Structure 1
Amino acid sequence: MGESTQVAGAVVVTGLVPEDPAAWHTESSELLHPWEREQSRQFTRETRARYVHVHVAAHLWAAGVLGVEPGAVEITRRPCLRCRAEHGAPQVVVDGHSSYFSTTRTGRHYAFALSSRPVGVDLETIRSTLDVDAVAHVACSDTERAHLAGLSPAHARATFFRWWAAKEAVTKATGHGLKADFRTVVASGTDASSTWEFDGTAWHVAEVRVDGSDVVGAVAVPPSS
């Protein structure tokens, strides 16, 4: 795991799941909350082990950021925006006090974000197999699609994935997640790192860098008052 940095008012860290399964954190799975254990059971054996490694890493990292023992950290879920059941966005809870928390993984890369304000983080691998034009029709506004049409294919693909990471970071922060209409999550300009608006609220989005890879990322928080 890399060093934690302050990005857009949140503490953010990126990491890489080790290639050797012997280095995974599966021996510390007792740190996980029941919902994390239950979710892990939905995956195949190797995917489950990777999931456990990343989630244990999240507990250890949050404990370090907050200056507490790992066993004192609970990662629970906030109430769902639709039904109010506790399967909404994750949060870190220590001694009854909660912090906003977000996590993301693509391939072996992962990232965590922790903040006293709503926060969302997302990583995306730039995939050559994705039909960008087709997905843009359901994920981008008319203005965004027109901008993509004026770019070279390679530049349009990279721009689309940066926008997607920004849009998903925003909707994670709001609690809507992938249920949101991404066409209504729009930036003030064409740069993924800027002010984005969704559902009448502005969000500050900053790039999360993953050097030496084809992964792009973004973190979203409310603008400073």
Structure 2
Amino acid sequence: MSTTHTLLPAHGRWPADVALWHVPLDLASGQIEGWSTLSAQERERAARYRQDADRVRFAATRAALRAVLGDCVGEPAHSLRFDLSARGKPALAGLPGRLAQVSFNVSHAGAHALIAVSRTRGVGVDIEPVTQDSGWQDIVGEVCTARERSLLHATAGPQQSARFLRYWTAKEAVLKARGTGIAEDGVLRELEIDEERRECRANHADDAGVLRYTWIDDIAGHIGCLAFNMDC
């Protein structure tokens, strides 16, 4: 399988020092380009997936990430090493100076993946398939603020699911850019999505700075969101 990654044009949607890559995935393929660049641990993790599509999705996305980051820092893809922050956000390890501070984030859904990279600011990304029945009503109370729930109820029926997915992807991307993730109970409800300004000010003492986000509508049948730190 030829796993290509395409740089999406910013068109003013995000700063010039942020790169967003789209990776189309051939989930039916038995071969993964870049498999040889994966670490032994990554290959073992891929092998643990029961479904072939899940194995290909993980391994192909990881290989594309290594290719993108290798080009970014000028190192062979197979030589890259990764570490986790205290909150579980991946980071490059074993590189000197600012190279080790390159921020990156990955998300995949279905046959598509997005990879965000920046040398100067924190980034986070999320992608979800667009469906009319995604079961969002069951989790809306865990994800949305009272204001967001009110706006959802006021939205025409067919558009409710799409609006919820915009809230969901924005919150995921923002939290990933902050390096916190969604493990903490209630953390999604702490973020208020302003669809006009597309700005989120962190409300934790250890999360200084302003985050902005932009939705990605470039991929048919999917909605994505890219978040990036403005304080840099």
Q: Please give the TM-score of this superposition, normalised by the length of structure 2.
A: 0.81
| Structure 1 partner of 2:217 | 209
The code of the aligned residue for 2:112 comes to H
Partner secondary structure for residue 21 of structure 1: coil
- Contact in 2 for aligned 1:125/1:215 (Cα 8 Å): yes
- Deviations 1:86-105, CA, capped at 9 Å, x for gaps: xx111234734321110000
| Structure 2 partner of 1:178 | 182
Partner secondary structure for residue 182 of structure 2: helix
The code of the aligned residue for 1:79 comes to S
% identical equivalent positions: 19
| Structure 2 partner of 1:196 | 200
| Structure 2 partner of 1:11 | 19
Task: Give the Cα separation in 1 of the matches to 2:141 and 2:227.
Answer: 23
| Structure 1 partner of 2:84 | 78
Task: Give the Cα separation in 2 of the matches to 1:127 and 1:138.
Answer: 20
Q: How does 1:98-109 map to 2 (within 5 A)?
A: 98=100, 99-109=102-112
Partner secondary structure for residue 80 of structure 1: coil
Q: CA deviation at 1:136?
A: 1.1
The code of the aligned residue for 1:190 comes to E
Q: CA deviation at 1:176?
A: 1.8
Q: How does 1:1-225 map to 2 (within 5 A)?
A: 1-6=5-10, 7-8=14-15, 9-22=17-30, 24-25=32-33, 28-46=34-52, 47-74=54-81, 76-81=82-87, 88-93=88-93, 95-96=95-96, 97-98=99-100, 99-116=102-119, 117-180=121-184, 181-187=187-193, 189-191=194-196, 194-200=198-204, 201=208, 202-211=210-219, 213-225=220-232
Q: CA deviation at 1:55?
A: 0.6
The code of the aligned residue for 2:56 comes to A
The code of the aligned residue for 1:12 comes to L
Q: CA deviation at 1:33?
A: 3.6
Q: CA deviation at 1:23?
A: 5.2
RMSD: 2.3
Q: Please give the TM-score of this superposition, normalised by the length of structure 1.
A: 0.83
Q: CA deviation at 1:22?
A: 4.5
Q: Structure 2: 5+ residue runs without aligned partners?
A: none
- Deviations 1:129-183, CA, capped at 9 Å, x for gaps: 2233332111000000001111012222111101111100111122221214211
The code of the aligned residue for 2:203 comes to D
- Deviations 1:77-135, CA, capped at 9 Å, x for gaps: 32223xxxxxx111234734321110000001100011132211000112222233332
Matched residue count: 213
- Deviations 1:168-215, CA, capped at 9 Å, x for gaps: 01111222212142111112x234x7102343453111122333x220
- Deviations 1:44-90, CA, capped at 9 Å, x for gaps: 1512233111111111122233344323433x132223xxxxxx111
- The list of structure 1 runs, each at least 4 consecutive aligned residues, that deviate by more than 4 angstroms after superposition, is none
- Contact in 2 for aligned 1:106/1:124 (Cα 8 Å): yes
